[in-house]
């Protein structure tokens, strides 16, 4: 399985908060992820390498970071995802929308049934 790179940018310039979130993610993710706090221009971010996105999915990374950021009164302002397999993105859709199975995907430009 190939690794995924996912960077979360925070609404703060406090690098200590980014390091804290990285520690939380590393603890919760076990060996499935490697995270580190980093400077990102005038803000800071958490660079996450998902070594096994099935064991610790993208949406769980985001949710875990959001919960860990709340006590600091900051939020995740945006994210950036490197190249990712289609299955990883579809897993986000399935989890976020609480779908038991994925719907049939329509082709681009194909009108929906109505």
Rg of the chain (C-alpha set):
16
pLDDT at 28: 96
Question: pLDDT tens digits, residue range 41-98?
Answer: 888 999 999 999 999 999 999 999 999 999 999 999 999 999 999 999 999 999 999 9
Q: For residues 21 and 35, what is the distance between their CA atoms, to the nearest angstrom?
A: 8
pLDDT at 65: 97
Task: Indicate yes or no: pTM above 0.75.
Answer: yes
State yes or no: pLDDT of 106 exceeds 90.
no
State yes or no: pLDDT of 1 exceeds 80.
no
Question: pLDDT tens digits, residue range 9-19?
Answer: 999 999 999 99
- Highest CATH level, class, for 4-96: alpha beta
Domain boundaries, the chain: 4-96
């Amino acid at each position: 399985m190939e690794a995924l790179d996912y960077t979360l940018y925070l609404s703060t310039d406090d690098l200590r908060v980014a390091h804290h979130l990285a520690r939380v993610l590393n603890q919760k993710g076990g060996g499935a992820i490697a995270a580190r706090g980093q400077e990102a221009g005038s803000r800071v971010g958490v660079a996450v390498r998902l070594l096994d996105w099935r064991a610790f999915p993208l949406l769980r990374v985001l949710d875990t970071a959001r919960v860990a950021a709340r006590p600091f009164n900051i939020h995740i302002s945006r994210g950036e995802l490197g190249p990712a397999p289609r299955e990883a993105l579809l897993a986000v859709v399935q989890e976020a929308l609480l779908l038991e199975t994925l719907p049939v995907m329509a082709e681009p430009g194909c009108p929906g049934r109505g």
